[in-house]
Structure 1
Amino acid sequence: MSSAPLRPSAPRRLATRRQVLAGSAAASIAFTGSFTELFAGTSAARGHSGYGPLVPDPDGLLDLPKGFRYRVLSREGEPLRSGEGLVPGNHDGMAAFAGPRGRVRLVRNHENRDYAAIGVPTVEGLTYDPAGKGGCTVLELDGRGEVLGERVAIAGTAVNCAGGRTPWNTWLTCEETEDRAGTNGYTKDHGFVFEVDGADPRRTGAVPLTAMGRFQHEAIAVDPGNGIVYETEDAFERPFGLFYRFLPERPLGGTGSLRAGGALEAMRVPGVPDLSVVQETGARFDRVEWVPVPDPQASGTPIRFQDFGPKGITHAQKLEGCYWGGSSVYFVSSFARSAEGSAADHFGQVWRYEPARRRLTLVVVFGPDTDVELPGESPDNICLAADGGLMVCEDGGGAQHVFGVTRQGEVYPMARGRQNIGTAEEPEWGEFAGVTFSPDGGTMFVNCYTPGTTFAVTGPWR
């Protein structure tokens, strides 16, 4: 969980502030920018002002608006229904896939490091490195939302943070680490992307997609027109991460096709070595360049340290969520802190890249209106909602929320975590992650990272 951000020098605000009600306490949140760009490809969206204030949950798990209800599908430490071991902790990125007869499969990441208390159980044929404690599990639900099964989909990986779905309905899980064999007890190098078939994990096994690069992966998005994969890097120290694209040898070839290899490139925005210096929404760059990565395997030097020529390369702190919408790819910088090495400070940005025009635009800036302890900073996982709006998982200090954003730019609280992992005197709440919707749009699934909990939220979705 991220620490509370420092207050940056005030960025320019270009839109009105919205007041939202979180539980019984008023909280202020500011979003600025061109919201219609965020929802490209979602013509079904209708304007509304949210679902009302959050109602405190008497069971102390999840606050929701009136009329909504949740079901706990899975909690860390419980037995997996497959009998393979216990449900691992650190629930992170997730996606929902349609199954036969109205069933839904949830493929869920576990961002476990070498010291995790409950790692993903090793399973023969599905384990990359027996010393790795990360991986994915799959939940299968029937048409009524009841859990039918829960099993390991891949094991022996490390720090599986986010990822993304492919057009052929598999999940790409990303390792957010660069640890090599011999580090922290690992027997193999880590820092790769792995493909997971939730319907039949043994079809994909535990094979690293090495051509997609070895770095601190966060999330991916696939262009459904040409199969190019966009990747974010959440590096923890300077120089910060890069934004990549992978040009596959077999684009849109289906399950296993990414193993055929391809070319990895990194984004260069001429004259902008650090995206944090861009502070005004609407700022646009029309000559984005893509530079071949010298050594995608980072065999001697991490990619972000490599020599990209005299023009250098463009970095950004906390590159996290990534998704495809309309004809563009969107990616999130959760925050930037000059005290940690960024060129400037901000509370969160959403960027839009239009491949056809090679154009990059800063479309949304996040930030609290008043106190930095209030919600509204450090956006992380993002998904498009059934009503055409946006759902944003918050990953900052203080209370943790899932926020909705309408096409008109209205911000409203959708959920607030109530599981206190701190003390009564100094409460702390686990971040949300992996927000996703069922194929029919009737259920929102979301994880609480700590304690690892997967929720299904139903109600009067518009």
Structure 2
Amino acid sequence: MSADPPESATRRQVLARTGATVAGIAFAGAVPELFAGTATAATHGAGGGYGPLVPDPAGVLDLPKGFRYRILSREGAPMRSGQGAVPGSHDGMEAIRGSRGRLHLVRNHEIRPGDGKPPVPAAKGLTYDPAAGGGCTQLTLDQRDRLLDERVAIAGTAVNCAGGPTPWRTWLTCEETEAKAGASGYTKDHGFIFEVDPDDPHRSGAVPLTAMGRFPHEAIAVDPRTGVVYETEDASKPFGLFYRFLPDKPLGGLGSLRAGGRLEAMRVPGLPDLSAVQEPGAAFAGVEWVPVPDPLAKQTSVRLQDYGAKGITRSQKLEGCYWGDKAVYFVASYAAKASGSAADHFGQVWKYEPHRHRLTLVVVFGPDTDIQLPGESPDNITITPRGGLMVSEDGDGAQHVFGVTRGGEVYPMARNRLNIGTEQSPEYGEFAGATFSPNGRTMFVNIYTPGTTLAVTGPWH
């Protein structure tokens, strides 16, 4: 998920060195549309929310006054299951209601070959490729968010980045790679989506959902009315695509996605690169969906295949993806002309309305909106139980979780204080996997490096 943002990141590094504890994201666009479908345009700075962040004496997590955190899990510590150490590179995560009043946190581990991070231990019946170190672990909590268990949910997958929940309470974990068997020592092809059943991972096993495509997946969102699954691709040379998967057994429950379906890529007529659009509210009707010739990419990467004389629509750094208000929203974390994009930006949120075949640029992030504010590189985005957003930053310098109210007011919610650099050149791991308990009382969030999972409670309103 981490990558180099546009050039102004150096200014953010300077801000981090000054010890600034309150920062903001600048948003331009129809922010309320993310929640209520309105079209009011506004630009908002930092403020409101829960007040300024209070420096954490323990140097872990700065939060507003009245909020507190607990560390649930740390990279390298023994898992309660006895299966081995907690893996590293904590990434996408979801809180899923389990049986008997329990709560499952299904957590991705973006383990790459040779990165030195503790791998996901191989587990019988749950391992796809013993040569791969990625996968998911699962934390099970009681009704008071006390940790009951921590174990492997799937192993032997690679570079598990994000994913998304299904309406039937499972997790779809995505491999952000397209490495084939033989590369990096792998014994099987990678680049797939896998389903994880948190109530009993052995019921889901380690079966690739091959019809959903083999490419560097980032995240997914399921339309709860039709069962269509939307998928983002984080890739370059060339940039990735935005896909939809039409399952043969829509909304069929656990295992139904194995039955197959059709994979299609989005084409916006006249728009080959999403970064070219800079004006929030800009809308494009007549969005087309083009069949992917070879979803398994046997010879040619999916994004390099022949999509006809009209071409296809691409974007740099497609990341988060979620469903809300009869539409799918997806995030382009940033774009840089120096990397081959049509234009520079510091983050976009797009909205696709299936019933209207319409794509709209809803929000633009970052210094280009207001040079006084350092917000950039949005990654994971989640809707809160109170109807706002929580946005995880993945840039350079200080790393925050920002909240956005239904009215579009932006406020800092958390800042990572775990310095993995030096005092002279501080560096902080990105936030990832922010998710809320079903009762709305707890926000769970990961720090990517060092892998840390935290529970945040307080006077939510």
TM-score range, shorter chain: over 0.9
Q: What are the residue-to-residue correspondences of 1:48-67 with 2, within 5 Å?
A: 49-67=48-66
Name the residue aligned to 1:161: 161
Q: Cα offset for 1:368? A: 2.3
- The amino acid across from 1:342 in the alignment is S
Q: What is the alpha-carbon distance in structure 2 between the residues aligned to residue 50 and residue 103 of structure 1?
A: 30
Q: 1:74 to 1:25 in 2, by over 3 A?
A: closer
- 29-38 or 445-454, larger mean C-alpha shift: 29-38
Report the CA distance between 1:103 and its aligned residue. 1.9
Go from structure 1 to structure 2 and tell me whether the alpha carbon gap of 1:373 and 1:123 turns closer, same or farther (over 3 Å shift): farther
Q: 1:32 aligns with which of 28, 31, 42?
A: 28
Partner Cα separation in structure 2 for residue 260 and residue 295 of structure 1:
17
The structure 1 segments of at least 4 consecutive aligned residues displaced by more than 4 Å after TM superposition are 22-26, 369-374
Aligned mates of 2:240, 2:372 — CA distance in 1: 26
For structure 1, list consecutive stretches of 5 or more residues without a partner in the other structure.
9-21, 43-47
Give unpaired runs (5+ residues) of structure 2: 10-17, 39-46
Quote the residue 1:282 is aligned against.
Answer: 281
Match of 1:338 in 2: 337
Q: Verify the 8 A CA contact 1:23 1:54 in the aligned structure 2.
A: no
User: Using the alignment, how far apart are the partners of 1:97 and 1:28 within structure 2?
Assistant: 30
Whole-angstrom distance in 1 between the partners of 2:423 and 2:313? 43
- Residue type of the partner of 1:207? V
1:308 partner letter: Y
Structure-2 change in CA distance of 1:385 and 1:427 (3 Å): same
1:242 shift after superposition: 0.1
1:380 shift after superposition: 0.2
Map of 1:119 onto structure 2:
119
1:208-227, Cα deviation, whole Å (9 max, x unpaired): 00000000000000000010
Which secondary structure state, in structure 2, belongs to the residue aligned with residue 308 of structure 1? coil
TM-score (norm 2): 0.93
| Cα shift at 1:264 | 0.2
Where does residue 72 of structure 2 map in the other structure? 73
Moved more, 405-414 or 220-229: 405-414
The structural deviation recorded for 1:28 is 4.7
Distance 1:122 1:36 in 2: 45
In the TM superposition, 1:369-380 aligns within 5 A as 375-380=374-379
Give the whole-Å Cα distance in 1 for the aligned partners of 2:33 and 2:188: 42
* Aligned residues of 1:40 and 1:325 also touching (Cα < 8 A): no
Equivalent in the alignment of 2:400? 401
Size of the aligned set, in residue pairs, is 443
Q: Whole-Å Cα distance in 1 between the matches of residues 369 and 325 of structure 2?
A: 34
Counterparts of 1:123-162 in structure 2 under 5 Å? Answer: 123-162=123-162
The structural deviation recorded for 1:94 is: 0.3
127 and 40 in structure 1: CA distance in 2 versus 1, 3 angstrom threshold: farther
Match of 2:442 in 1: 443
- Residue type matched to 1:2 in 2? A
Kindly state the Cα deviation for residue 2 of structure 1 after the two structures are TM-superposed: 2.7
- 1:145, 1:162 → 2: CA distance? 23
Q: Cα deviations across residues 109-158 of structure 1 (Å, max 9, x unaligned)?
A: 00001114310000010000000100000000111111000000000000
Question: Matches of 1:150 and 1:326 in 2, distance apart?
Answer: 34
User: Which residue of 1 is the match for residue 229 of structure 2?
Assistant: 229
From the superposition, tell whether residues 302 and 252 of structure 1 become closer, same or farther in structure 2 (CA, over 3 Å). Answer: same
SS at match of 1:309: coil
1:200 is aligned to: 200
CA deviations over 1:288-340 (Å, ceiling 9, x no partner): 00000011011111011111000000000000000000100000000000101
Secondary structure (helix, strand or coil) at the match of 1:276 reads: helix
1:319-367 deviation per Cα after TM superposition (whole angstroms, max 9, x unaligned): 0000000100000000000101111110000000000000000000001
Asked if the contact 2:366/2:373 (under 8 Å) is kept, the reply is no
Are 1:179 and 2:175 counterparts?
Answer: no
SS class of match (1:35): coil
* Equivalent-residue separation in structure 2 for 1:427 and 1:92 (angstroms): 21
Q: Is the 8 Å Cα contact of residues 383 and 436 (structure 1) preserved in structure 2?
A: yes
CA 1:306/1:383 → structure 2, altered by over 3 Å: closer, same or farther?
same
Q: Distance in 2 between matches of 1:432 and 1:7?
A: 20
Q: Secondary structure in 2 aligned to 1:446?
A: strand
CA contact (8 A) 1:28 1:368 kept: no
Aligned to 1:14: none
How many angstroms apart in 2 are the aligned matches of 1:335 and 1:192?
A: 24
Within a 5 Å distance, the mapping from 1:423-438 to structure 2 comes to 423-438=422-437
Q: Give secondary structure in 1 for the equivalent of 2:365.
A: strand
Give me the identity figure in percent: 73
Give the Cα separation in 2 of the matches to 1:372 and 1:200.
Answer: 49
Give the letter aligned to residue 148 of structure 1.
L
Query: Which deviates more from structure 2 when the two are superposed, residues 393-402 or residues 95-104?
Result: 95-104
CA separation in 1, counterparts of 2:36 and 2:407? 13
Residue 239 of structure 2 aligns to which amino acid in structure 1? F
Deviation at 1:101, TM superposition (A): 3.9
**SS state of the match for residue 211, structure 1?**
helix
Mean alpha-carbon deviation: is it higher for 332-341 or for 96-105?
96-105
Give 2:42's aligned residue. none
Deviation per CA, 1:413-461: give whole Å up to 9, x if none.
0000000011111100000000000010000000000000000000000
